[in-house]
Amino acid sequence: MAKRRPTTEITRCPWAKGGDYIEYHDAEWGVPVHDDRLLFEFLILEGAQAGLSWATILKKRGNYRKAFDGFDSALVAKYGKKKQASLMSDAGIVRNRLKIESASPGEYPCNQRGSFRCCHDKACARLVRSQRPRAFTSLRLPQTNSEPQR
């Protein structure tokens, strides 16, 4: 019997098409984040993505890093109207006034407590606890077409 050669190809989700998506999928998607700067980066990028495709934001990610001082929340917290106006004229990012204004870390209660990670970890723990079934009988199993719906 011939030995099977290990495959080097990664099995990817169907949505991971194209360079930026593939790189994001393989290196970051589904990976827990514990770094405050990276959590802040994702907060900004997710906010910018609202109503747009994630591919659009991934293409602009490098521009966002430059425009938002490497996602240093202490520096971004000091942004005034002048800096916000310069961001509005930056063609490398999504130029939406509300999205730019919402990027201030002072807008996030987590940062007021000193850490995005602390708040994120607490929120995730609450989410896991709230989604945990109380009893095995409370689990809903998928219905097949041949079974009647309850």
Which sequence spans correspond to the domains of the chain? 33-128
pTM of the prediction? 0.69
> What is the assigned CATH class of domain 33-128?
mainly alpha
Instruction: Quote the CA–CA distance of 76 and 82 in Å, as a whole number.
Output: 12
> Cβ contacts of residue 80 below 8 Å, gap of 6+?
none
Q: How many CB atoms lie within 10 A of CB 87?
A: 22
Instruction: Give the pLDDT score at 52.
Output: 94
Instruction: Give the pLDDT score at 73.
Output: 85
Instruction: Give the pLDDT score at 63.
Output: 97
In tens, the pLDDT along 58-74 reads 999 999 999 999 999 88
Instruction: Give the pLDDT score at 147.
Output: 47
> Which pair of structure tokens corresponds to residue 138?
């409370």
Res. 88 pLDDT band, cuts 50 70 90: very high
Instruction: Give the pLDDT score at 11.
Output: 86
Active-site residues, by number, are: 24, 46, 54
Task: Give residue 62's identity as a one-letter amino acid code.
Answer: G
At residue 112, does pLDDT exceed 90?
Answer: no
Which is more confidently placed, 7 or 102?
102
